[in-house]
Amino acid sequence: MVFACVGAVQGIDMKDEKDEKKSEKPGKEKKVVGGRDQLIQAALILASTTRSLASLGLREIARAAGLNPNTFYRHFDNFDDFTLTMILQLGASLRTSVRECWQQPMRKIPPADSADAAARIRRAQAIVKASTALIFDHFDAHKNTYITGIREIHGASPLLRKATNELVKNIADDLANDVLLHLQLPADDEKVVRETSLAIVRQMTFIGYEYLEFPKRREALQQQAEHFALLLVVGVISTQAPELMESMAQVLSAAKLS
């Protein structure tokens, strides 16, 4: 009833935000990246340092990207559309690049005599060690992506949960396939190798996140990761190929002294 004055109030939303983003290099390379990628990049930084992806605000992201809030709608329908696109895009790139971390050692470390069980086990050990180091470097190189991605694995959004869990599963399957092909292990049961790979990737989720939060702990965490992987390898061999146990015992007792 007393709202008659409302019509007269003008411009109360003017200067909503005081962006000072005018005329940065009005020369040639003005829009080297599209607003779409600017938004994704801004959201990645925000999500990895302040909040969960799904809880970010559309205005907040646009502000961080130096863009108008409405620009958001030019590229994405929903907020879900945005976050999902982002996770899928980042995830796909991560998946292919992390695979190199174990494929390279598998290629570089020469195959062992397939009759010499002990040599094959030693080779597996060496590959685990080299791969772990490369994976930690990979964490460093993709810090924000890892933090944001891992955060959504058990996050609140069912959509992102599904996407990230599929990513984990795919990475684990890549690992399993490569192990089956190139590790020269007597792994009769493919299912066991797949399950074990999944367990390793999941564990690396914890270790990697801890590493990114406390980089100083790298040495201890790297060793923990190697240890864990080797424990599983030994476990798999013991249950799948008990006939190799004695040669494994030799390798292990030799390693204990080092």
- With tokens 């494994």, the residue in question is 248
C-alpha 240/C-alpha 149 separation (Å) is: 34
User: Which residue stretch of 19-27, 69-77, 133-141, 193-201 sits at the interface with a copy of itself (rule: CB under 8 A)?
Assistant: 193-201
Task: For residue 11, state whether it binds DNA (rule: CB under 7 A).
Answer: yes
Site for a copy of itself in 131-170 (CB under 8 A): 150-151, 153-156, 161, 165
Task: For residue 79, state whether it binds a copy of itself (rule: CB under 8 A).
Answer: no
C-alpha 69/C-alpha 49 separation (Å) is: 21
Q: In this structure, are residues 125 and 254 in contact, taking their beta carbons and an 8 Å threshold?
A: no
Task: For residue 75, state whether it binds DNA (rule: CB under 7 A).
Answer: yes
Helices (H) and strands (E) in the chain, counts: 10, 0
User: Which residue stretch of 62-70, 85-93, 157-165, 229-237 sits at the interface with DNA (rule: CB under 7 A)?
Assistant: 62-70
Q: Both tokens of residue 215?
A: 């980089």
3-state secondary structure at position 249 = helix
Task: For residue 25, state whether it binds DNA (rule: CB under 7 A).
Answer: no
Q: Which is nearer to a copy of itself, 16 or 246 (CB)?
A: 246
Task: For residue 71, state whether it binds DNA (rule: CB under 7 A).
Answer: yes
Q: How far is the CB of 218 from a copy of itself (least distance, A)?
A: 16
Q: Which is nearer to DNA, 82 or 136 (CB)?
A: 82
Pick one of 1, 4, 5, 6: the residue that binds DNA (CB under 7 A). Answer: 6
**Distance from the Cα of residue 179 to its chain's centroid:** 20
55-94 per-residue burial string, b: 16 or more CB within 10 A, e: under 16: ebebebbbbbbebbeebbeebbeebeebbbebbeebbeeb
Task: For residue 18, state whether it binds DNA (rule: CB under 7 A).
Answer: no
Q: How far is the CB of 44 from DNA (least distance, A)?
A: 17
Q: How many residues bind a copy of itself (CB under 8 A)?
A: 51
Q: Identity (one letter) of the amino acid at 251?
A: V
Which residues would be at the binding site for DNA (CB under 7 A)?
Answer: 6, 9-16, 19, 21, 30-31, 34-36, 57-60, 63, 67-72, 74-75, 79
